């Protein structure tokens, strides 16, 4: 047999490569600026998994298919379930102490137990208002879901190809089958990445080719001396340097970077041989040990970082303590959970091991469900000073005339076409007492308009008004922006604008709120962490690049034209000026009272200066149009000199992140909104 991959021969350098992969991921998660492409370490893991799994199944004795498949899943359960269950349980409790609405994290953790968190996170990625992935303590389990779904398919390919039964042509058959699936998966990945990047990232079929590459590498080295000799001539140090180099390529080349890292990882596995410096480094005892604990380390590192973001944050001084905590928990998990349960004979009989794994998953799921419902945990987290908005979704109860939005296709839109990015697309809300002679209130805009819904629900009930709301993207669409989603969703916003124009009548009210500070601010910075410093790009119809102010002028001209068409018929328009914005998300500042002094206030004068071009543009429209009024949130959300995340009572939190107001912040605006409506 090929000396390079002789049966039952432990290859410590593979664990060394695992250590390299997990360290690149952790560095990237600490600070993307240090290693922008460190996330590609996950792709290295995928290649290693395919190689090692195929190696472990090569010439493994099995009585029959039942014995083969049950043995495979027994080993997988012992390897994955115990450490994952303990991690999910402990971190689940921890996030409940700091997040009063931990549902997304808990559901991610629950689905991770069943190997489905990648699918759940894909659905969340289409939600414009979904919690930041950095604040979801179980985001990283998506990769485990991809691997576990791969493990459902792969043993069947191994067995029925003949490879698992050691038939004469088994290796050849497996190579051909997996090779064909690899090409199909790779083509799917390349295509899907251009049309639906989230799906390409999270789904197993578009990731299959990465793990399959490890399988093909093993078979190629086993059956072809030429391939082995060819790859052994490649200097592993050069390959390693190339992998690190790829990790510094710009995100615009993410597809090419992924393909390159997968290819280079396969070459590196094959080229590692005794006598090279890279081999000596990878078999160093400390490096190998990091590789051995890499599974537990991967689990715990993200949990620690995410909880840190909810509490003390991530700073240069906190990094040593956070790394020490990650290592301590990973070592404990490896020594006291992974090793004893993976190598131990649980109950003597295989079916009992499989059953106990299922029971463990079920019991952990029940515990997570209880955490989400626990009144004690919710009360505790609220005492820590966090408050978030209630993103209630109301189903469409009838068709919207004059549009393609119907009660029938609303559910289909949200479920199948990923249009849930406009989270409120199918919300068509009515006050129960509304009649034809009562006014209608139309709410439109991006996520900032969505945060006004609690206030407008109350106002509409008080007035007996009919409330319509479609939120999620700029209103009117920002047609000059390139590389964004504005163009993709413009048709839907256009339909809503047309609908308002067709049904609105005298004295109806249109309320518009967009995060113009993000789109058009000229860039007066608070500091280097200022969330407004996005490098948005703008072009006119001819492809000529535009400045922020030029783009603002084009957008405001469309707003003026639309507003004029409504105000001439007696429809009133309330445009909400930019909200105060802060440096850090509210959970970072407010989950721990010790950090409030760092970021709970921002200079009112500085914000007004930064928004000056936006104020000037909107005030010009206000001056020219009767019936067009501006609502300034600064009047109630800021004091004389500063704007604060905390209300005057010193307790209530007015923001859910750095720029979106909470329910409380929304309700504070009610008197101001009612005054303008009256």
pLDDT digits (tens, 9 = 90+) for 47-61: 999 999 999 988 787
pLDDT at 433: 37
| pTM for this model (two decimals) | 0.67
- Per-residue confidence at 525, pLDDT binned at 50, 70, 90? very low
* Sequence-ordered alpha helix ranges (H) in 374-406: 375-383
pLDDT digits (tens, 9 = 90+) for 626-676: 999 999 999 988 887 888 887 776 666 778 777 888 778 888 899 999 999
| Joined tokens for residue 666 | 């929304």
As a dihedral over the C-alpha atoms of residue 204, residue 207, residue 209, residue 214, rounded to 10 degrees, the angle is: -100
* 653 or 336, greater pLDDT: 336
pLDDT at 416: 28
pLDDT at 586: 55
* 476 or 595, greater pLDDT: 476
Integer CA distances (angstroms), 230 to 213, 268, 271, in order? 17, 12, 9
Residue 377 confidence (pLDDT) above 50: no
pLDDT at 204: 96
Residues 6+ apart with CB under 8 A from 109: 88, 91, 92, 117, 137, 138, 141, 368
H/E stretch holding 467 reads strand 466-471
pLDDT at 84: 96
Query: Using CA atoms, how far apart are residues 70 and 49, in angstroms rounded to an integer?
Result: 19
- Per-residue confidence at 80, pLDDT binned at 50, 70, 90? very high
pLDDT at 658: 76
DSSP 8-state symbol, 646: B
H/E stretch holding 328 reads helix 319-333
Give, in degrees to the nearest 5, the angle at Cα 400 between 395 and 404: 100
* 419 or 338, greater pLDDT: 338
pLDDT at 370: 85
Residue 581 confidence (pLDDT) above 80: yes
Residue 395 confidence (pLDDT) above 60: no
What's the whole-number average pLDDT of the chain? 81
132-136, 190-194, 225-229, 629-633: least confidently modelled range: 132-136
pLDDT at 45: 97
Query: Using CA atoms, how far apart are residues 72 and 170, in angstroms rounded to an integer?
Result: 18
| Joined tokens for residue 184 | 């199909």
* Helix axes 12-30 and 319-333, enclosed angle (nearest 10): 140
Integer CA distances (angstroms), 465 to 434, 460, 506, in order? 6, 5, 14
For the residues 466-481, what does the mean pLDDT come to? 82
* Backbone phi and psi for residue 646, each to the nearest 5 degrees, phi listed first: -110, 135
Terminal CA-CA length for the chain: 87
| Joined tokens for residue 507 | 């004295």
H/E stretch holding 466 reads strand 466-471
pLDDT at 125: 66
pLDDT at 614: 92
Residue 428 confidence (pLDDT) above 90: no
pLDDT at 537: 78
CB 265 within 8 A of CB 51: no
Integer CA distances (angstroms), 452 to 192, 278, 292, 461, 492, in order? 35, 58, 50, 14, 20
Q: What percent of the chain has pLDDT over 70?
A: 80
Q: What percent of the chain has pLDDT over 90?
A: 45
CB 459 within 8 A of CB 673: yes
pLDDT at 338: 92
99-103, 292-296, 403-407, 422-426: least confidently modelled range: 422-426
pLDDT digits (tens, 9 = 90+) for 537-554: 788 888 888 888 898 999
For the residues 455-478, what does the mean pLDDT come to? 84
Query: Using CA atoms, how far apart are residues 91 and 140, in angstroms rounded to an integer?
Result: 13
Query: Using CA atoms, how far apart are residues 19 and 142, in angstroms rounded to an integer?
Result: 20
pLDDT digits (tens, 9 = 90+) for 359-369: 999 999 999 98
- Per-residue confidence at 390, pLDDT binned at 50, 70, 90? very low
Query: Using CA atoms, how far apart are residues 410 and 424, in angstroms rounded to an integer?
Result: 11
* 428 or 28, greater pLDDT: 28
Highest mean pLDDT among 208-217, 269-278, 451-460: 208-217
Peptide linkage before 576 cis (omega within 30 of 0): no
| Joined tokens for residue 501 | 């124009």
CB 109 within 8 A of CB 428: no
162-171, 262-271, 561-570: least confidently modelled range: 162-171
Residue 413 confidence (pLDDT) above 60: no
* Helix axes 319-333 and 294-310, enclosed angle (nearest 10): 140
Residue 321 confidence (pLDDT) above 90: yes
Query: Using CA atoms, how far apart are residues 399 and 157, in angstroms rounded to an integer?
Result: 48
Q: Which residue, 677, 570, 549, 518, is CA-closest to 613?
A: 549
Give, in degrees to the nearest 5, the angle at Cα 633 between 566 and 588: 130
Query: Using CA atoms, how far apart are residues 557 and 554, in angstroms rounded to an integer?
Result: 5
DSSP 8-state symbol, 130: P
* Sequence-ordered alpha helix ranges (H) in 58-169: 65-98, 103-113, 117-125, 142-160
């Amino acid at each position: 047999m090929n000396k390079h991959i002789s049966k039952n021969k432990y290859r410590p350098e593979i664990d060394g490569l695992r250590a390299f992969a997990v360290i690149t991921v952790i560095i990237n998660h600490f600070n993307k600026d240090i290693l922008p492409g460190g996330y590609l370490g996950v792709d290295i893991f995928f290649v290693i998994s395919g190689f090692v799994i195929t190696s472990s199944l090569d010439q493994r004795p099995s009585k029959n298919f039942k014995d083969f498949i049950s043995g495979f899943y027994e080993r997988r359960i012992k390897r994955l379930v115990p450490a994952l269950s303990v991690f999910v349980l402990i971190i689940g409790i921890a996030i409940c102490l700091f997040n009063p609405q931990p549902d997304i994290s808990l559901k991610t953790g629950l689905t991770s137990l069943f190997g489905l968190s990648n699918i759940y996170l894909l659905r969340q990625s289409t939600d414009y208002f979904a919690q930041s992935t950095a604040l979801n303590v179980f985001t990283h389990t998506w990769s485990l879901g991809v691997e576990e779904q791969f493990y459902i398919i792969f043993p069947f390919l191994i067995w029925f190809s003949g490879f698992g039964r050691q038939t004469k042509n088994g290796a050849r058959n497996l190579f051909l089958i997996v090779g064909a699936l690899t090409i199909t998966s790779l083509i799917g990945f390349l295509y899907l990445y251009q049309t639906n990047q989230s799906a390409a990232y999270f789904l197993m079929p578009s990731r299959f080719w990465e793990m399959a590459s490890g399988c093909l590498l093993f078979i190629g080295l086993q059956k072809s001396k030429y391939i082995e000799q060819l790859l052994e001539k490649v200097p592993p140090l050069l390959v390693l340097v190339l992998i690190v180099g790829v990790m510094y390529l710009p995100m615009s080349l993410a597809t090419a970077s992924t393909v390159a890292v997968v290819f280079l990882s396969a070459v590196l596995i094959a080229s590692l041989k005794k006598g090279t410096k890279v081999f000596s480094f990878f078999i160093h005892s400390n490096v190998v040990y990091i590789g051995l604990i890499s599974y537990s380390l991967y689990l715990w590192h993200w949990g620690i970082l995410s909880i840190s973001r909810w509490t003390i944050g991530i700073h240069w001084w906190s990094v040593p303590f956070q790394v020490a905590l990650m290592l301590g928990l990973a070592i404990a998990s490896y020594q006291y959970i992974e090793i004893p349960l993976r190598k131990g004979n649980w109950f003597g009989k295989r079916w009992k091991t499989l059953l106990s794994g299922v029971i463990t998953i079920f019991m952990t799921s029940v515990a997570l469900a209880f955490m989400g419902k626990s009144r004690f945990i919710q009360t505790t987290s609220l005492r820590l000073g966090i408050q978030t908005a209630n993103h209630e979704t109301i189903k469409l109860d009838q068709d919207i005339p004059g549009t393609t939005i119907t009660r029938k296709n609303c559910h289909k839109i949200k479920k199948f076409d990923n249009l849930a990015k406009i989270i409120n697309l199918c919300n068509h809300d009515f006050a129960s007492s509304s009649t034809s002679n009562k006014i209608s209130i139309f709410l439109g805009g991006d996520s900032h308009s969505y945060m006004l819904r609690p206030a407008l629900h109350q106002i509409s009930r008080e007035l007996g008004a009919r409330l319509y709301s479609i939120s999620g993207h700029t209103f009117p669409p920002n047609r000059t922006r390139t590389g964004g989603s504005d163009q993709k969703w413009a048709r839907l916003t256009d339909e809503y604008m047309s609908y308002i124009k067709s049904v609105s009548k005298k004295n109806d009210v249109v309320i518009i709120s967009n995060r113009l500070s993000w789109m058009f601010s000229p860039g007066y910075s608070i500091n280097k962490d200022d969330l407004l410093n996005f490098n948005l790009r703008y072009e006119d119809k001819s492809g000529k690049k535009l400045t922020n102010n030029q783009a603002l002028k084009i957008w405001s001209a469309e707003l003026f034209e639309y507003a004029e068409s409504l105000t001439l018929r007696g429809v009133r328009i309330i445009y909400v000026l930019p909200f105060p914005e802060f440096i850090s998300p509210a959970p970072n500042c407010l989950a721990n009272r010790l950090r409030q002094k760092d970021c709970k206030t921002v200079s009112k004068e500085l914000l007004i200066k930064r928004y000056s071009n936006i104020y000037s543009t909107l005030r010009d429209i206000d001056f020219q149009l009767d019936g067009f009024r501006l609502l300034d949130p600064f009047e109630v959300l800021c004091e004389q000199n500063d704007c604060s995340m905390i209300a005057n009572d010193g307790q209530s939190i007015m923001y859910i992140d750095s720029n979106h107001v909470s329910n409380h912040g929304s309700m504070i605006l009610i008197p101001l909104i009612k005054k303008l409506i009256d």
